[in-house]
Amino acid sequence: MTNGPAGGAGSLFEALYDDENAVVRALRAGASAESCDEEGTTALYLACVQDLPGVVRLLLAAGADPDRASGPEAGDLPLCGAACGGHAEVVGALLSAGADPDLSEAFGFTALRWAAGLGHARVAEALLEHGADPDLPGPQGETPLVVAARRGSVHTVRALLRHGAGGLSPALEEARRMLASDVEQELRGALRRMYGGGEHASAVRRERVDGGVTVTVELLRDGEPFAGQDLQTGHGAIATLLENELGVRTPFEELAVRAMRDGDPGLENWLEAAGTLWLRGDEETFQAAAAWTAAGDPLRQAFGADVLARLGFHTGGRPFAGRAVPLLRELARSGEAVPAGAAERALAGYDSSREE
C-alpha cells in the first residue's frame, strides 16, 4: 500500500514526476518522506536512480533515512542506486546526510564497487572523501582497484590510489591482461554468455570520454538495441600508473606501444607514458625519443617529440636541450601535421633563444 499524502492531494510518487514544487506541496499536505509504493520502493530510492538531486535533498530534509533499503526484498540502497547511475550530485547529497559509504546491498555490492565497475570516477572520489574503504572487497572478493583496472577507468584508479588503495599487484595483473585482450571481443563474449550465441546482430560504438575511449557493444533485435555493455580503454595508462607505484621500470618500447594504442596523443594512455619517460631523464630515454622522431610512423614521431618536450625538466634544468632542439626543429619542418604540431609545442617549452 502506498503511503501517500493526506487530504486528497496527489501522491508523493506522482509529484516526483512533476517538479520540486510539487514534492514540497505533497510533503506539506502530509506525505511521509519515507513513503514507499506497493513493491516497497521508497520515494528516496526512486529520486536517486532518476538523478533528481533537488528532490533527494527535500526528502532528506523532511526526514528520509539515507540508508533505508528499498524494493520487494529490501535489497536496494539509495546510495548504490545513485552510484550505479553515476549521479555524483545525488551521491554527495546522500553522503552529506550521513549515508554509510560502505553499506552493502543485495549480493554484497557497495556503492564504491558499483562506481569502480562502471567507471564513475567522480562518484568514487566522493565516496572515498567521505570515508569509503578503498580495499573493501565486492561479491567475488575483488577489491575496487582490481575492478577499476578491469574497467579501464584511469580516473577511478587514480582516485583509489590517492586514497591509499592497496593490492596493487593484482590490479596490475588485471590491467596487463586487459592490455593483451581485444576489448570489443571481451564485451561480445560477456553478452554471449548472458544472451546466447551468435543469433543476435550487434553494433559497436566508440566515444571519447574523460580522456579515454569508451567502447560499447549492443545486441540488436529488429535493428534496435535491447542489451549492451561497455568498457573503457585506459588499461595502458593504468598499467603504467601501477608500475610506477610499485617501482617497476617498464621498457620504453612498451610505453610507446601503450601510448599509440588508441592513436590519439590527447588520451591518457599517451599522456601517462610520456609523463613516465619525462621523469626518467636519462640518456637511454633520450636516444629512444630521438630515434622515434626519425621513424616513418607519424604517431611514433609525435610521441618522440612529446617525450623530448620535457625530458629531464623535473631536475630544474633542461639537460637535453642542446640535442633535442635541433631534432624538434627538423620535425617541425617535416610537413606532417601531427608530428610537426607536437614538435612546435615542444619547442615552445624550451625557450630556444637561451638554450642554443
Q: Which domain holds residue 119?
A: 12-164
**Taking 70 as the threshold, does the pLDDT of residue 355 lie above it?**
no
**Taking 80 as the threshold, does the pLDDT of residue 122 lie above it?**
yes
The domain total for the chain is 3
In this prediction, residue 197 carries a pLDDT of 64
144, 205: one domain: no
Highest average pLDDT, of 127-131, 138-142, 220-224, comes from: 127-131
32, 157: one domain: yes
What are the residues whose beta carbons fall under 8 Å from the beta carbon of 64, sequence distance 6 or more? 33, 34, 42, 43, 44
Has residue 78 been placed in a domain? yes
In this prediction, residue 11 carries a pLDDT of 83
In this prediction, residue 32 carries a pLDDT of 93
Has residue 58 been placed in a domain? yes
In this prediction, residue 1 carries a pLDDT of 36
CA distance 261 to 77: 39
User: pLDDT over 70 for what percent of the chain?
Assistant: 95
The x, y and z cell numbers of residue 240, run together, are 603504467
Mean pLDDT of 220-243: 95
146, 16: one domain: yes
195, 146: one domain: no
Whole-prediction pTM: 0.92
Has residue 227 been placed in a domain? yes
Has residue 310 been placed in a domain? yes
State the pLDDT confidence band at 209, using cuts at 50, 70 and 90.
confident
112, 203: one domain: no
Give the CATH number, domain containing residue 17. Answer: 1.25.40.20
- Contact assessment for residue 132 and residue 110, using Cβ atoms and an 8 Å cutoff: yes
64, 148: one domain: yes
For 16-61, the pLDDT digits (tens) are: 989 999 999 999 999 999 999 889 999 999 999 999 999 999 999 9
Average pLDDT of the chain to the nearest whole number: 93
**Taking 80 as the threshold, does the pLDDT of residue 354 lie above it?**
no
217, 326: one domain: no
**Taking 50 as the threshold, does the pLDDT of residue 353 lie above it?**
no
- For residue 54, the SS3 value is helix
In this prediction, residue 4 carries a pLDDT of 39
**Taking 90 as the threshold, does the pLDDT of residue 6 lie above it?**
no
**Taking 90 as the threshold, does the pLDDT of residue 231 lie above it?**
yes
Has residue 221 been placed in a domain? yes
* Cross-strand bridge partners of residue 221: 224
129, 157: one domain: yes
CA distance 351 to 345: 11
Has residue 268 been placed in a domain? no
Has residue 276 been placed in a domain? no
Has residue 228 been placed in a domain? yes
**Taking 90 as the threshold, does the pLDDT of residue 352 lie above it?**
no
